[in-house]
Amino acid sequence: MSRVVLTVNAGSSSLKFALFNTAETGLAELARGQVEGLGAQANFRVKAPDGMVLAKADYPADEGPGDPGEALHLVLDWHRSQHPDMGIDAVGHRVVHGGPNFSDPMVIDTDLIARLKAFIPLAPLHQPHNIAGVVAAREAFPKALQVACFDTAFHRSHPWVNDVFGLPLELYEEGVRRYGFHGLSYEYVIGALRRIAPHHAAGRVVVAHLGNGASMCAIHDGLSVGSSMGFSALDGLPMGTRCGQIDPGVLLYLLDSKGMSVAELSDLLYKRSGLAGLSGLSHDMRELEASPRPEAAKAIDYFVFRVRRELGGMTAILGGIDALVFTGGIGANAVHVRERICSGFEWLGIELDQHRNRISDAVISSDRSRCRIFVIPTDEESVIANHTVSLLNSVSG
């Protein structure tokens, strides 16, 4: 029996979605899109799998959808107009934080929502909006099964030494530990690598998820054993607007000597740092690469430096490297950034093929490279959809 699954990724100013239909051959994507600019100048876009635009709308300021609930109703209205005889059987949600215990997708009920709210302090930039999307979807699709898929779940295989901080142990027991994020992306990438290069997927793999949010993960035989992100989605690499790794003494200084409030500090670290803060121009790597301003070049320099440093660290965790995978908006598209990251790592067996890199081939390493280098665009929506279908089948028999 055919089932229809909607995936939802609700953020502070956008809602991304995808629509899938189950078939004998597996999941078939029907469409995907986004509602951006919630509460401001919103726009609505839907595309077919071949890239054809199925719907497009731009709204004047304050006349479009203002929150995830209104955005979901917009999606629902479009779906009903295009597929009047096709209901929604299940909704799969990306939920950034699942805490220390949620290592598998979960059917959402009132109790689970309450437990997820407890993780809001751990992911204040994402968790409230994820939960708002869940609440809105339960109202919009009351008969559909709702499923939570956690970005932290993939990293629950970490060894203890990677999760703990050098703090009193009771804090670790209370949940102050390294969680890791972007798990749905890593899950997709390692699954894709198993299909195209199973020998490499079974070995020592470093995945660089580079985008507006950026992190790196060390994966051994398909299991996460190290991640650059930690207790929050602030740690590790510099990102579009987030700072990445920072000496905690800086935070104490800003609180004490500069008199910053916790709210001001949070705003600085999450929204005014990273590429945007360093460049004073933009969080978008494309704009920085096109800019003649020296500050833009310095921001890119720092980003590349930190990725290279993290690549060395992840390789040390693994005891070597068999495959390096680039994914995310920057990783899959920024040719020059990939070239700079890989340059000089020949001693580690990493050697780029310049032509393959320029055309963003699936394999961009040279034939001589001991480490194979891949470019794999991520697809978190398909991961969410597959998990949702599995739970839907198990619940309905």
Q: What is d(CA 59, CA 160) in angstroms, rounded to the nearest whole number?
A: 49
Which is catalytic among the residues 62, 89, 109, 151? 151
Residue 278 CA, distance from chain mean position: 22
CA proximity to 311, closest of 352, 358, 285, 345: 345
Residue 392 CA, distance from chain mean position: 24
Calculate the alpha carbon distances from 116 to 104, 157, 201, 217 in Å. Answer: 14, 21, 32, 24
Q: What is d(CA 202, CA 180) in angstroms, rounded to the nearest whole number?
A: 21
Indicate if 151 belongs to the active site.
yes
Which amino acid would we find at residue 91? V
- How many CB atoms lie under 10 A from the CB of residue 297? 14
Cα distance from N-terminal residue to C-terminal residue, the chain: 11
Residues with a known catalytic role: 151
